[in-house]
Amino acid sequence: SAVISQKPSRDICQRGTSLTIQCQVDSQVTMMFWYRQQPGQSLTLIATANQGSEATYESGFVIDKFPISRPNLTFSTLTVSNMSPEDSSIYLCSAASGDNYGYTFGSGTRLTVV
Amino acid sequence: QKEVEQNSGPLSVPEGAIASLNCTYSDRGSQSFFWYRQYSGKSPELIMFIYSNGDKEDGRFTAQLNKASQYVSLLIRDSQPSDSATYLCAVTHTDKLIFGTGTRLQVFP
């Protein structure tokens, strides 16, 4: 299965600023996803990162707040824009090769907004 | 809204016992089913996946799937304190992976 490098691992940011999270996969993958995990909760899908086209967002998430890029089959970024304390969470990227042998995760980015 | 339901626990079992974790899902179109383990402060780690009705065994872990009942379970035999973690059930909806709320398992010596 794919190995994903995610960075930064953590950050503390001022409200009103933006943070870009990067994920690099060690092999080409068909699908990449971004999740949010709030403290003590499960994973909520933010969006599917589509290579060469706009991301597909889940209900409750919008492009202006969480712009996503996927320029190729091994790399994606998620930006958390105009942050507020409510954005404090762990953000995780995930990749799947399309063979149904599981979706692997990056190590996560722990974001604290102050 | 497609849903995946799990009992949040905690489920407490003694060392050496069988831990049984359960999950139900609402989307009859789901084709693939996964169990992930997540230690505190870590990202989810894939334990098992199952696609067909019945049982699938891998070491101390057995996944069970019943599509008619929309039910998937995970059995952990000979539970160890190191198995203490949150176990996340996930099912596919089209190509997306939708997670349940997770069950916290505690294995006590």
The string of pLDDT tens digits covering residues A1-10 is: 789 999 999 9
What are the residue ranges in chain B where pLDDT is below 70?
1-2
Chain B contacts of A1, Cβ < 8 Å? Answer: 46
CB contact under 8 A, B95 and A96: yes
DSSP A41-95: --EEEEEEE-TTS--EEPTT--TTTS-EEEEETTEEEEEE-S--GGG-EEEEEEE
The arithmetic mean of pLDDT across residues A25-39, rounded, is: 93
CA distance A77 to A75: 7
> Which residues on B lie below 8 Å from A105 (Cβ)?
43-45
Per-residue pLDDT tens over the stretch B38-62: 999 899 999 999 998 999 999 999 9
> Residue A100's pLDDT is what?
59
C-beta atoms of B51 and A101 within 8 A: no
Q: Which residue has the higher pLDDT, A79 or B96?
A: A79
| pLDDT recorded at residue B10 | 94
Buried b (16+ CB within 10 A) or exposed e, A4-41: bebeeeeeebeeeeebebbbebeeebebbbbbbbeeee
Report yes or no: B88 and B104 within 8 Å, Cβ to Cβ: no
